[in-house]
Chain A
Amino acid sequence: MATLPISTDKIIEKYGPHKAYTPASGFHGSHEPDRLVKTHCCFCGMQCGIQLKVKDNTIAGFEPWMEFPFNEGRLCPKGVQRYLQNNHPDRLLHPLQRVEGKGFENIGWDKAMDRTISEIRRIQEQYGQDAFGMLSGVSLTNEKSYMIGKFARVALKTANLDYNGRLCMVSAGAGNKKAFGLDRISNSWSDLAGAEVIIIAGTNVSETFPTLTHYIWQARDRGAKLVVIDPRVTPIARTADLHLPVKPGTDSALYGAMLKILVDNDWLDHDFIQHHTSGFDKTIEAVKDYDLAWAEKTTGIPADKILQAATWWGKASTSFLLHARGIEHHTKGVDNVLGCINLVLATGRIGKPYCGYGTITGQGNGQGGREHGHKCDQLPGNRDITNPEHRKYIAGVWGIEESEMPGKGLSAYEMIEAIHRGEVKGLITICFNPLVSLPNNNFVREAFEKLEYYVAIDFFLNETARHADLILPGSLHEEEEGTVTTAEGRVVKINQAITPPGEARKDSDILIELAQRLGAGDKFNYSCSEDIFNELRVASKGGTADYYGITYEKIEKNMGVFWPCPDLDHPGTPRLWEDRKFKTPDGKAHFNPVPYRDPSEVVDTEFPVVLTTGRVVSQYLSGSQTRRIGKLVDQYPEPLLEIHPKLAAKYNIKNRELVKVSTRRGEAFFPAQLVETIREDTVFIPYHWGGKQSANQLTIGTLDPVSKIPEFKVCACRLEPTGQQGTEKMKETAYQSY
């Protein structure tokens, strides 16, 4: 039963989050480390190179890695502080078992494994194989992601495996597959520097991917125009040549109107459209009525700004369009992505130097982790689990009969709904904190409380794992070797710096033992991470995400290899589509019509204000790691309600006043931050916190019909001033998720 065994306060007292700081004199050995280990940051999709200082099998500090070509030593505050996790007092060191009224007590590995296996068997025998689900995450390496896909299908024998990338890049992935037949950014970041026009849509680059800012400035130094589409004036929008303050939920109207302007002015690459694309006519038919007046009314962006953006885009000879969660976290996330792609295809600026397009993948291994079978509908190499040929090939690699392989399962949020309905009874999670990161999290909590057995693998007791029956202590990024694929499609090497402390184990060792005990040990004969990678290479061979030609040695020698890399002599592919051979069935890039539709919840008299959510520079995702690092917490201690002074005046809300924010899902209180850097009809709350100050108590769980991504970025809310100021206690304790 996945309810809290004792009060939240008592759990926090023992397992945190507690804030860790480096001692004033540094950690033991930081001035004279035993060695420096070249690896990467554990956080976002940039995967900046970094060197970790190691002393006596602990991480003592960091040293910039100047030679790694993407970041050349540059780091954001999260990167600078990432080394603070290994020495952390909250680190889980032993397998733990929930004891009602007492909390969690140590239980040896043997008992922990026995109990987990017997519960899996009990639930699957009683309710069916798919009644035990698995939720994973893409801060994990390619090796672990691949092995989890195999573990769920071969050892656990469930269809219900999905991952936290479902909250991240799936709209982009689905859109890219529709348009190009392949899911990867088209160019490496180095092509950004030569683009004449850069559009960044719904991506707070300077706070979520700070090290990418340098590439954008390189282009601007050469005269590039920067267009930023965002409801807020983010730090990257502040100095942009053009800022389009789009009303949340109306992005596709903007792209539709821009496409119409390209057509009306004949800013089109007719040769490219004719020979290398399909679907153009029906796509422009869908936008024929999207004139500037309609676009201004729908998006809230002044018509002259829309025209200016389209004119720059239309007349440019080189360009780059980037987007991220801001346009993807919608019930029409895929539509928004396709709307962007239509602008790229209309001008034919792809597959050439300085001409690029792509999503900026959010999570550390958001790219690689979404390619090798982590998803409910996917097999390695970005293959389709419903495709008989794909199933047959992977079944062969795994040494099972195709008929034994489960089919398509439920996506992450659908799995929570199935748990709530009582259809899924048992769950294993790794690297996922759904009680903070999923929308409408009061509903999510209710679902977890219905589970008959919940086991969590993690290195900290995150907010969701507080509900676990059993916790298996896994490994940090720096405690296991592997590879990740960065947001530019570069496969890089994660090097093990230290061994897991206490009784904690490498994640892959935990999964291998579980597989052995489930009777599938012969399918998991790996002696090291490289063994897993070599099997992944074979499994990906012939798929669109083909890693066959990539080896550990080749990665280290070249500081990363860009996939696809189909054979050992292949140098990798930093720039896609130079051959104009797209991976769609007809070999062409596909335009897709995007008729405009409203978001799932629009404002009304009861809930008259638009609520959108996002991130701050000092926190990462659900904060499970970054809310335990003192300086990162102190930089932005509690979630604030960003509100324009004019909207605040309407409700008589003062700066720092506590505001009750209500939606149809729940209510919560946040101190107001009055700023002119947001639209007058929209409020913003960052989502990294759990408990009473969690923004995701308010967000809506409606999903994109194709990608199944939740609509985090727009819902309707009501604001009520309380007459009280935000308290110091709230500010000081928000990071702990009371």
Chain B
Amino acid sequence: MPNTKYNQQMEFFIDMQRCIGCHACEMACAECETNGQESMIHIHYVDRAVSVQTTVQVCMHCEDPVCANVCPADAITKDDFGVVHTANTSRCIGCSNCVLACPFGVPIKSEPQELMMKCNMCYDRTSAGKKPMCATVCPSQALYYGTREEISKMRPDSVPVNTFQFGEQEVKTKVNIMMPKGSTHLKVH
């Protein structure tokens, strides 16, 4: 990776508890010149009838990305820093394999362009030593970008978890979810 200031100590942490559902992350994400005013992060109510709780959906940057594995055109790649990049526009054939395969439901197919789009951890910013746009603006810091040491010190009651159990299958990700202290993995039913 030439001319990069990408700091491998920096990680992405999501704390759903702190999300206030304001959508600042979506609007800031959409500002990125490669996103064409589409957001790659999504906020949804869990069940507005009973709670104001919201949930954050963004690329988890899997260690072994299924989206890339199932891509027939080799359009999706993971770089040396563990960032899973959005589909290479010259290769993507818009087949939606990645959309169907992702266990987190992240990639979307942009119909007008016939292209898959997803978060690339604001590579233009992170490779220049900045934070991703969503974690920069997040007013409650439900989205945090920093080192594991920093977040452990700041938030002693929770721990970062990046192991997810989908039935028999374990998925490890670059992005962490903050869980109650003592948690080691998150089981998805």
Task: Check B27–A631 contact: CB distance below 8 A.
Answer: yes
- CB neighbours of B8 from chain A (8 A): none
Q: Which residue of B lies closest to A634 (CB)?
A: B23
Assuming A74-B137, A675-B48, is B31 touching A61 (CB within 8 A)?
Answer: yes
Q: Which residue of B lies closest to A232 (CB)?
A: B52
Is there a chain A Cβ closer than 8 Å to B28's Cβ?
A: yes
- CB neighbours of B33 from chain A (8 A): 25-26, 30-31
Distance in angstroms from B16 CB to nearest chain A CB is: 10
CB within 8 Å of B: which A149-176 residues: none
Distance in angstroms from B108 CB to nearest chain A CB is: 15
Assuming A23-B37, A221-B157, is B137 touching A235 (CB within 8 A)?
Answer: no
Task: Check A74–B138 contact: CB distance below 8 A.
Answer: yes
Interface residues on chain A, number (Cβ under 8 Å): 47
Distance in angstroms from A193 CB to nearest chain B CB is: 11
- CB neighbours of A77 from chain B (8 A): 22-24, 26-27
**A213→B24 CA distance, assembly (Å):** 13
**A217→B136 CA distance, assembly (Å):** 16
Is there a chain B Cβ closer than 8 Å to A234's Cβ?
A: yes
Is there a chain B Cβ closer than 8 Å to A724's Cβ?
A: no
Q: How large is the interface on B (under 10, 10 to 19, 20 to 34, 35 or more residues)?
A: 20 to 34
Distance in angstroms from B133 CB to nearest chain A CB is: 8
Most buried by B among A30, A75, A645: A75
Assuming A81-B27, A676-B50, is B20 touching A217 (CB within 8 A)?
Answer: no
**A71→B53 CA distance, assembly (Å):** 24
Task: Check B31–A80 contact: CB distance below 8 A.
Answer: yes
Chain A 207-229 interface mask (CB, 8 Å, partner B; 1/0): 10011011001100100000000
Assuming A73-B137, A80-B28, A214-B139, is B36 touching A24 (CB within 8 A)?
Answer: yes
Is there a chain B Cβ closer than 8 Å to A529's Cβ?
A: no
Contact of B139 among A210, A221, A239, A645 (CB under 8 A): A210
**A211→B18 CA distance, assembly (Å):** 12
Is there a chain B Cβ closer than 8 Å to A618's Cβ?
A: yes
Task: Check B156–A214 contact: CB distance below 8 A.
Answer: no
Distance in angstroms from B5 CB to nearest chain A CB is: 15
Most buried by A among B27, B28, B48, B136: B27
Interface of B: prevailing SS: loop
- CB neighbours of A233 from chain B (8 A): 51-52
Task: Check B140–A206 contact: CB distance below 8 A.
Answer: yes
Is there a chain A Cβ closer than 8 Å to B55's Cβ?
A: no
CB within 8 Å of A: which B135-189 residues: 136-141, 154-157
Is there a chain A Cβ closer than 8 Å to B17's Cβ?
A: yes
Distance in angstroms from A647 CB to nearest chain B CB is: 14
**A566→B96 CA distance, assembly (Å):** 66
Is there a chain A Cβ closer than 8 Å to B49's Cβ?
A: yes
Task: Check A214–B49 contact: CB distance below 8 A.
Answer: no
CB within 8 Å of B: which A615-638 residues: 617-618, 631, 635
**A674→B131 CA distance, assembly (Å):** 39
Is there a chain B Cβ closer than 8 Å to A129's Cβ?
A: no
Task: Check A206–B51 contact: CB distance below 8 A.
Answer: no
Is there a chain B Cβ closer than 8 Å to A238's Cβ?
A: yes
Chain A 296-333 interface mask (CB, 8 Å, partner B; 1/0): 00000000000000000000000000000000000000
The list of the 3 closest CB pairs from A to B, nearest first, reads A210-B139, A206-B20, A235-B20
Interface CB pairs A-B, < 8 A, 9:
A73-B137, A74-B138, A74-B139, A79-B137, A210-B140, A235-B21, A618-B23, A676-B49, A677-B52
